[in-house]
Structure 1
């Protein structure tokens, strides 16, 4: 298709990637939460740090015991959140970034032969988080979407590039998703549904019941797969302004 054939072109807006940017701040936010908890449970943390002082000194010899305990709590909390993001949102990259960031901080300390302390570690984590946000933004800029009288084209990706083209006669449905931020800032996701149902995910709804009579009981259970929208930058027109107009272009033609 030539450029003149396009009736609409766009890319994801920065505000639609706010959640991706925020995930880069998980290590810093986790340390902040543990530091706040320190003010409310200072005596408890001092008791715990006294018990665990030997282990903490072996792992982080360049930090006071209480600072090492705060850092350990931040590491545990952020890795737990990264694991939850992986399980719930099927996004392993948050966990990968966190593991890389923590290992990179210790590699800097060992290779340079210096004591970073808690403040130095926070500084390096902030630098790694900023670098990760730049990488996420670079990925956002690679995604391009276009609509013409012949169909819809989607392409993008940094490490893994995905290109998708849907001809007009293969479109069975068009779904517009407006998250809370989308309703506030005027962006949304336009999911083009085809017979392959790319752009839709499945959840499993469980149900059950029990009955008893004259001392005898029975339990009956079951479930069914439920289709739901799974909007991702690579499988739909993600995070664009005026999604209703884009939907009308797709359904009614240019």
Structure 2
């Protein structure tokens, strides 16, 4: 068991370095990469299959708190965050993040991977269809933004992601410049992750089969491994986001989502 845990920790160090790069580059918290990776890694470390998906979602959200926070800090330095947008979406994001963790606890375990994959594939399709479109739609009212934030929060928490994969297309659709959309998504993702993580921790407190070194459904060896490197590499992703053309960013984002969604849906 100890050998498997140490091996998982080492793999999570590598995973975290990749997650941090994507977090800074695309405004995502890394859940789109962390969840499928942990679904594969956790059983190899001796985690019971009935717990794997919930622990992958919870640990992913916990890692996003720091990864998205580090990414947001780097985007703040580059002036890529519109605080008025984040403030309008925040109430819905918090409530949605908590709600998503509650829903995930009620959904049968075998359905969660398919739900995750379906969400990701739809996001990839949306981004591919919008790549040739430009939008000058104004940002909606604060109430509408809060409602949108609630939907984003529920879906993101249910899929164990920080919401950047939803927030970026949403803001881009409303005419927000891509770099600012990515910056706002980083900060919003940290908020979603805190709410979702808290929900999963409390949901898992009564689970008797949890392995040692767990807090609720959050598995600490995986969490520490991921964030140890992700918080460092976010700066390089944020630097790339400030240099690459908007269309290039959208292409990277869409291809990334399509690949991950397909792999998860096919098992």
The structure carrying a bigger helix percent of its residues is: 2
Q: By percentage of residues, which structure has more strand?
A: 1
Q: Same fold (TM over 0.5)?
A: no
